[in-house]
């Protein structure tokens, strides 16, 4: 088998992106050698691969700083409305290649590194992922930063610089084991500490009402140290900033202990303050009401709002009055977008600053706050909604509790005036949930305190309006919007799939990279023999490359001519990895029953992390690995069916597996996946989708034509009807022999002979309390998978569908999503203005 060409070898053979200028290459070499020399003078004589990586990273970073400074200068001079994207997660992945791509430096670096006898791809592999997110929500924030910079918006991402990101996943004896993600161990060349902007954040204490106003006293102080990371737009010389806060203890921390002779203890106790930014909570779509998490949420909000107010006051064209207390124009200069309810405390914190510190009267402050803030809802699962106990909240943030009570009182007065005597409506709409444990409903706070509320796919936004926030929608329907998610085509096509990007450029030019709707130009070419051949060839090369990677990293051999059936996302019952498992077991049983019968060979690849405390999700991983143990070692099966669990799925691994996929599994129960974004990445990279009518799948089917996806299963209405009637799993178990056989095998230990009752919890859940109705979609799923097999046997027709999908994926660019946020929520216009490069004089 011929070794597949590396991406850099391909770039040498052809480059539609233009040959790198010799001057650029020489400059990169010179800069690289200078940085390498610096490293070695400091330390050693022998350079390691990591030294080479850092030398290259610093070389590329040198190209950013001039543009970064000039962009910020440009904003200071123009004083545009600034966009603040607040998120507790930014799932950035690696930065080196993305920076080279967006600066148009990739070819020059490639050539320079090659001339120095090194391999660029090898150096790229040394970089740690910045895994400061769990999944979709954190990765969406990262795509949004890329699009906001590319669209020339004066935007800032604000979050926490977690010392430990999402855990690294190891599979040991088929079980997930977590280990700490010490991503900063070797340093991070992309961040710049900014101690001059360090800010205090207050916790605990007490509230005092004085003639001069309300005072929050006797607080404990933690310092927030900012670290800035540049965010380059695509070839427009714009470089925005992501500012992440790290917790530092003040030097007088625990001063009282110093004076009582407990000096050592007092210094050690600094850790308690600094724990705030220690670790990312590893839950996806699940609320864990821990005090440390509440501290994290207030920490990022308090530091960020001080920064926003400082920048507002010092802006060149701020208010003309000497003390700049005219906050009326604040919403004309500031937009705050809340990525889910995690930064919801921005609403009471902005109120606290306006009322207590800036002495704005309450009604004016409330008007300003609402005009400034907007809220994005990311889930309808009840277990994911943040509901903080009043007792915990009041101890940590006593002033904010008062403010929330006041907000709620005014809100309920308004509702009562409109619906006299409707006490149940008041109870449903209150921010405070009464009960044995009084709780604060953060989603209600966000809806009340924002001028815009959006869902992240059309079907999800409808559910938000007519179910989750029904009462609020009846009160203020104009507040509710849809903003269907998107992905950046720079990382998710140009960077991860250069072969496909080149093939597309040869046909329609490169305008699609900043206007993805131009992919529509491929539609007339859907029957073009050359294009069909090239698209199929690129896919085959990507599969060979991924096969080689699997063999090298995981010592597993797979059949590159089999269908790559890929299901990668966080492990969750609602995402129904169990439905996929039942399909695999059924395929296995069919092969065993009739070994002579021809079948389409498949490699089923399942990957994703389970939250460490989520027992069922961890059992699902064990089930996948156990099925793999049996299937992969059965000589009767041979290479017709293989099951791979992809260890430690993360951004950098997604960039490898997605371009190699033939089939994309998006099979959540209708009405549970708010949008999904992996679905869009697979579509753009030439996989076909098997999926339910859920999340953005609905709009993907609308764009490409439902006949070009494999859509199956219950719709939202069917799920609701089944809930009304009462879902009875045993009915399906009794009626469908293949389902019964698969479930019995799992229950009776066929896949776990050492522990026959290993999976009894899974089977018990599926039969008696399955909220996500796996059995109800089994029959339709199997029939749909049979259609997949049938089409896959006709490679030409399969590839035509692939081309149609790619051609219709333009809507799912985050550039389109951000343009809609800008116009409909933030009140700003994207600009294609090129900021001049640093060496060009400004005017």
Q: Which residues are catalytic?
A: 378, 569-570, 575, 677, 681
DSSP string, 514-583: T-GGGGGGGGGGTT-HHHHHHHHHHHHHHHHHHHHHHHHHH-----TTSEEEEEES---GGGTHHHHHHH
Q: Which stretches within 555-658 are classed as H helix?
A: 577-593, 615-632, 651-657
Question: Can you tell me the distance from the alpha carbon of 336 to that of 347, in angstroms, rounded to the nearest whole number?
Answer: 10
Quote the tokens at residue 174. 């088929």
Q: Are 327 and 67 in contact (CB under 8 A)?
A: no
Question: Which residue in 604, 642, 752, 637 sits closest to 174, CA to CA?
Answer: 752
Q: CA of 563: how far to CAs of 560, 590, 642, 644, 688, in Å?
A: 8, 17, 10, 13, 11
233-250 residues labelled b (16+ CB within 10 A) or e (exposed): bbbbbbbbbbbbbbbbbe
CA angle at residue 334 from 238 to 473, to 5 degrees?
Answer: 115
Strand order in the sheet with 663-666: 641-646, 602-607, 563-568, 663-666, 688-691, 710-711
DSSP 774: T
Report yes or no: 482 and 461 within 8 Å, Cβ to Cβ: yes
Tally of CA atoms within 13 A in the half-sphere of 764 that contains its CB = 7
Neighbours of 634 (CB within 10 A): 14
Nearest to 468 by CA among 447, 440, 438: 447
CB 704 within 8 A of CB 688: no
DSSP secondary structure string, 11-26?
Answer: HHH--TT-PPPHHHHH
- Helices and strands (H, E) in the chain, number of each type: 35, 25
Q: Which residue has the tokens 């849809």?
A: 482
Burial (0-12, 13-18, 19+ Cβ within 10 Å), 448: buried
**HSE of 260 in the Cβ direction (CA atoms, 13 Å)?**
6
Asked if residues 82 and 71 have their Cβ atoms less than 8 Å apart, the reply is no
Query: Is residue 621 classed as helix, strand or coil in its secondary structure?
Result: helix
Q: How many residues does the chain have?
A: 843
d(CA 785, CA 70): 54
The position carrying tokens 């079980």 is 175
Contact 373, 351 (CB under 8 A): no
Instruction: Please give the Cα distance from 383 to 379 (Å, whole number).
Output: 10
> Going by DSSP bridges, is the β-strand pair 663-666/563-568 parallel, antiparallel, or unpaired?
parallel
């Amino acid at each position: 088998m011929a070794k597949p060409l590396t991406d850099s070898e391909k770039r040498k053979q052809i480059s539609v992106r233009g040959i790198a200028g010799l001057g650029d290459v020489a400059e990169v070499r010179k800069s690289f050698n200078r940085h390498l020399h610096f490293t070695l003078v400091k330390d050693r004589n022998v350079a390691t691969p990591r030294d080479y990586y850092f030398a290259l990273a610093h070389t590329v970073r040198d190209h950013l700083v001039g543009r970064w400074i000039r962009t910020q200068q440009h904003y200071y001079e123009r004083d545009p409305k600034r966009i603040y994207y607040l998120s507790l997660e930014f799932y950035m992945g690696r930065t080196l290649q993305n920076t080279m791509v967006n600066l148009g430096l990739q070819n020059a670096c490639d050539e320079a590194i090659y001339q120095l006898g090194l391999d660029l791809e090898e150096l790229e592999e040394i970089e740690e992922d910045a895994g400061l997110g769990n999944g979709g929500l954190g990765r969406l924030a990262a795509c949004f930063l890329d699009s906001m910079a590319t669209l020339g918006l004066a935007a800032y991402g604000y979050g926490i610089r977690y010392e430990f990101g999402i855990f690294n996943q190891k599979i040991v004896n088929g079980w997930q084991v977590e280990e700490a993600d010490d991503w900063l161990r070797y340093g991070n060349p992309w961040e710049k500490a900014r101690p001059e902007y360090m800010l205090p954040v207050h916790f605990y204490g007490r509230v005092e009402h004085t003639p001069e106003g309300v005072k929050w006293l006797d607080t404990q102080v933690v310092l927030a140290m900012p670290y800035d990371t540049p965010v380059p737009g695509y070839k427009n010389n714009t470089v925005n900033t992501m500012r992440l806060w790290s917790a530092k203890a003040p030097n007088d921390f625990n001063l009282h202990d110093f004076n009582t002779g407990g000096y050592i203890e007092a210094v050690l106790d600094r850790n308690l303050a600094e724990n705030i930014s220690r670790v990312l909570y590893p839950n996806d779509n699940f609320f864990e009401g821990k005090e440390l998490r509440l501290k994290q949420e207030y920490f990022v909000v308090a530091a960020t709002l001080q920064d926003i107010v400082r920048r507002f006051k010092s802006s060149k064209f701020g208010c003309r009055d000497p003390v700049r207390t005219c906050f009326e124009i604040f919403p004309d200069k500031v937009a705050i977008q809340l990525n889910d309810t995690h930064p919801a405390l921005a609403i009471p914190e902005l109120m606290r600053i306006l009322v207590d510190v800036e002495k704005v009267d309450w009604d004016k402050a409330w008007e300003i706050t609402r005009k400034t803030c907007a809220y994005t809802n990311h889930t309808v699962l009840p277990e994911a909604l943040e509901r903080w106990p009043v007792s915990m909240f009041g101890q940590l943030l006593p002033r904010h509790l008062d403010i929330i009570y006041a907000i709620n009182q005014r809100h309920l007065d308004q509702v009562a005036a409109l619906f006299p005597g409707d006490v149940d409506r008041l109870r449903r709409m209150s921010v405070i949930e009464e009960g044995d444990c009084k709780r604060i409903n953060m989603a209600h706070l966000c809806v009340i305190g924002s001028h815009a509320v959006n869902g992240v796919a059309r079907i999800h936004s409808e559910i938000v309006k007519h179910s989750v926030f029904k009462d609020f929608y009846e009160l203020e329907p104009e507040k509710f919007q849809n903003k269907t998610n998107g992905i950046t085509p720079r990382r998710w096509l140009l960077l991860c799939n250069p072969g496909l990007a080149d093939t597309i450029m040869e046909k329609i030019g490169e305008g699609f990279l900043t206007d993805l709707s131009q992919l529509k130009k491929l539609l007339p070419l859907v029957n073009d023999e050359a294009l069909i051949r090239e698209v199929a060839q690129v896919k085959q090369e990507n599969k060979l490359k991924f096969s080689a990677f699997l063999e090298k990293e995981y010592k597993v051999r797979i059949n590159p001519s089999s269908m790559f059936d890929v299901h990668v996302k966080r492990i969750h019952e609602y995402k129904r990895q169990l439905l996929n498992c039942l399909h695999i077991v059924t395929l296995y049983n069919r092969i065993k029953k009739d070994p002579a019968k021809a079948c389409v060979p498949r490699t089923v690849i399942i990957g994703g992390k389970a939250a460490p405390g989520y027992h069922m999700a961890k059992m699902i991983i064990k089930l996948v690995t156990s099925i793999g143990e049996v299937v992969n070692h059965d000589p009767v099966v041979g290479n017709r069916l293989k099951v791979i669990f992809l260890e430690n799925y993360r951004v950098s691994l997604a960039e490898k597996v997605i371009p190699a996929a033939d089939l994309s599994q998006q099979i959540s129960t209708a009405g549970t996946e708010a949008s999904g974004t992996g679905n869009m990445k697979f579509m753009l990279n030439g996989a076909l989708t098997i999926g339910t009518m859920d999340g953005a799948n609905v709009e993907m089917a609308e764009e490409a034509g439902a006949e070009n996806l494999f859509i199956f299963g219950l719709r939202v209405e069917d799920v609701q009807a089944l809930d009304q009637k009462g879902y009875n799993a045993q009915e399906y178990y009794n009626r469908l022999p293949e389902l019964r056989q698969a479930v019995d095998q799992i229950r009776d230990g066929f896949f776990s002979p050492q522990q026959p009752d290993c999976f009894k919890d899974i089977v018990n859940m599926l039969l008696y309390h399955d909220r996500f109705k796996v059995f109800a979609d089994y029959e339709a799923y199997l029939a749909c998978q049979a259609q997949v097999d049938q089409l896959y046997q006709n490679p030409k027709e399969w590839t035509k569908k692939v081309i149609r999908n790619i051609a219709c994926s333009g809507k799912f660019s985050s550039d389109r999503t951000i343009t809609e946020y800008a116009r409909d929520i933030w009140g700003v216009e994207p600009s294609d203005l090129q900021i001049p490069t640093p060496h060009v004089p400004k005017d």
